[in-house]
């Protein structure tokens, strides 16, 4: 399942673990007509997805390439968040001829053993207690207290998105996310790249983002002061501005 909004150069948005294509809605709205924004559900994340979908970074990359071909576009800008950033980076290595620009949002690279252990403990808790039972704690990790208090409807909307995801898929994508490390090959990326995260994002905060950006030649680093993981919801206008800048989007169709 995918959706297309706007016109101009194609930008494909790859969502992260615990998300669907709907997680990009505020950013896409903020982009307006500056780009042809394409959002889609990762394999297994659509409500009608078959059970037991096979999941791997390589499979997600090939699914993305199939989408590019279906859209009949030769070159794309690519935006990935969290697990989606892993997929976007891996796609940029596998199909560099099709990538005009890359944005990696809240992308963990070079995580410590303690950070991986903490996520492993979370995964075990998800299995033991159930996804929706753990959500209140995750919401506190993802969003600032001020935003959650001022925008309860936004939090409810995000939880409704999560509730649509099969619990097995939710947990397996978290396991894939925890098992993947992209730092060793980031230096092979050769396209204009933006690395952006919230200052206090759990597992992908300012220090990790700096490591990520320093690994990619010429990458631009943007740290959103005071934010956590939920930058797509808390700061969609800022995200849209940074994407427009790094991709040099004007609303014109590519020639």
| Residue 162 CA: distances (Å) to CA of 7, 58, 93, 122, 135 | 29, 24, 30, 16, 9
Q: 242: helix, coil or strand?
A: helix
Convert the pLDDT of each residue in 163-172 to its tens digit. Answer: 999 999 999 9
Q: Check: CATH 3.40.50.10210 for 2-247?
A: no
Mean pLDDT on 56-71: 98
Domain boundaries, the chain: 2-247
pLDDT band at 48 (very low <50, low <70, confident <90, very high): low
Strand partners, 13: 39, 79
Say what the pTM is.
Answer: 0.95
| Residue 100 CA: distances (Å) to CA of 25, 60, 74, 94, 162 | 23, 19, 10, 14, 31
| Residue 28 CA: distances (Å) to CA of 62, 157, 197, 226, 227 | 24, 16, 18, 23, 20
pLDDT at 3 over 60: yes
Looking at per-residue pLDDT, the higher value among 46 and 100 belongs to 100
Q: 197: helix, coil or strand?
A: strand
| Residue 84 CA: distances (Å) to CA of 107, 162, 228 | 8, 16, 17
Query: In whole angstroms, what is the distance from residue 195 CA to residue 48 CA?
Result: 33
Convert the pLDDT of each residue in 209-218 to its tens digit. Answer: 999 999 999 9
β-pairing, 36-40 vs 2-5, is antiparallel
Convert the pLDDT of each residue in 185-198 to its tens digit. Answer: 999 999 999 999 99
Query: In whole angstroms, what is the distance from residue 92 CA to residue 100 CA?
Result: 9
> What's phi and psi for 143, nearest 5 deg?
-120, 150
Q: 2: helix, coil or strand?
A: strand
């Amino acid at each position: 399942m995918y959706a297309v909004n706007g016109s101009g150069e194609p930008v494909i948005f790859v969502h992260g673990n615990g998300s669907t294509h709907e997680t990009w809605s505020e950013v896409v709205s903020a982009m307006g007509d500056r780009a042809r924004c394409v959002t889609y559900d990762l394999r297994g994340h659509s409500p009608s997805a078959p059970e037991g979908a096979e999941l791997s970074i390589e499979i997600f990359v090939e699914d993305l390439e199939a989408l590019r071909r279906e859209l009949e576009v030769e070159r794309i800008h690519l935006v990935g968040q969290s697990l989606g950033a892993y997929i976007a980076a891996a796609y940029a290595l596998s199909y560099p001829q099709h990538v005009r620009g890359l944005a990696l949002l809240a992308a963990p690279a070079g995580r410590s053993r303690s950070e991986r252990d903490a996520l492993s403990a979370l995964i075990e808790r998800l299995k033991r207690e159930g996804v929706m039972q753990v959500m209140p704690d995750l919401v506190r990790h993802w969003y600032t207290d001020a935003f959650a208090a001022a925008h309860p409807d936004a939090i409810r909307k995000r939880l409704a998105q999560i509730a649509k995801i099969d619990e097995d898929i939710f947990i397996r994508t978290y396991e894939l996310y925890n098992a993947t490390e992209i730092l060793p090959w980031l230096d092979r990326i050769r396209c204009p790249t933006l690395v952006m995260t919230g200052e206090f994002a759990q597992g992908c905060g300012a220090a990790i983002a700096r490591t990520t950006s320093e690994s990619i030649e010429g990458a631009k680093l943007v740290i959103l002061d005071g934010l956590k993981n939920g930058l797509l919801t808390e700061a969609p206008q800022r995200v849209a501005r940074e994407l427009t800048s790094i991709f040099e989007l004007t609303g014109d169709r590519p020639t």
